[in-house]
Amino acid sequence: MGRIGNIVNNLFWAYYAHQQNKSRMEAEGPYKEVRGQKYAEDWNQLFIFANENKLEELKNLFPSAPSFVTAKDSNGFDLLQVAISNNSIDVAKYLISEESSHFDFNHQNNRGVNILHIISINGDLEILDCLIKNNKVPNCDLVTSEMESAIFLAVSNNHIDFLSKLIAHLKESAPEKLKEVINYQNSHGVSALLLSVLRNDIQTAKLLIDSGASVNVVRKDGSSPLHIACTFEDASTDLVKLLLDNGADVTLENTFGWSPLHQAHNNKDFIEKYEFLRSYLTQSDKKVYLDSFDPEKKKVIPKQE
């Protein structure tokens, strides 16, 4: 596979390397069986009640079992994370509203996942509302072990309503953090905006851009969202226009010496995008770039040892 093929291959895996609707790890190690259900052996009775959304039973046991309340299982989940990850809404809302003093709302389990990550994966608007109402939304700049922020996880799981509400909250509560976090890249070098471009998700891309996402943030190989829009067939001309209208640099070259114009030119299936970019350059202050455009330009990449 050539170097450009490797770029596409890496992006393909980056596209799928997210935690789609997988908010809780399978318990590792020995199991125990309770009422016909399998649970991790180290789960206490409160964890089981939280998992099963048995609010009254949990309330009755809660005062007499302080060590159960603060316990973590072998995967690093606390009681609140167990409730939220298993969609135990009644228990989760009770713990947030009535027993918040027992919990560190920024707590991250063994994979760096906290409750904001979990509800972003699941698109759980009800729990987000409860956290906002009780002023308990975790710090938005915390990332998982895969360097994924809550914003990235909401995008990767197609929860635009959740994303809209989370961003609206962060604009009021942490505007400076939002400006930074919205451009975070995961361990594959993929940002939330880049992921929306990979999916040709114009609605999400516009929301992210309007909220401060940079259209010129690049991957490790120097490729911008516009490069990717000119590489993937699914990315529409409307998406290219959105990026250009918001300041995407059509002359920006990646480590291979290719600009988005090169990407479009060198794929015969993307003639419409190529002509669109040429037209844009002709009408912009970057016409000089078009005049000197060399379609064969490519940097020599040093061989990796």
Structural domains in the chain, sorted by start: 1-17+188-305 (1.25.40.20), 19-187 (1.25.40.20)
Give one word for 56, left, alpha or beta, with left for phi > 0 and alpha for psi -120 to 50: alpha
pLDDT in tens, the chain (305 residues): 444 444 444 444 344 444 444 444 444 555 666 665 767 778 999 999 999 999 999 999 999 988 889 999 999 999 999 999 999 999 999 999 999 999 999 999 999 999 999 999 999 999 999 999 999 999 999 999 999 999 999 999 999 999 999 999 999 999 999 999 999 999 999 999 999 999 999 999 999 999 999 999 998 889 999 999 988 877 888 999 999 999 999 989 998 888 898 888 877 677 888 888 888 888 877 777 777 777 766 655 444 44
pTM of the predicted model as reported, rounded to 2 decimal places = 0.86
CB 34 within 8 A of CB 250: no
The amino acid present at 25, given as its one-letter code, is: M
- The C-alpha atoms of residue 207 and residue 213 are separated, in whole angstroms, by 9
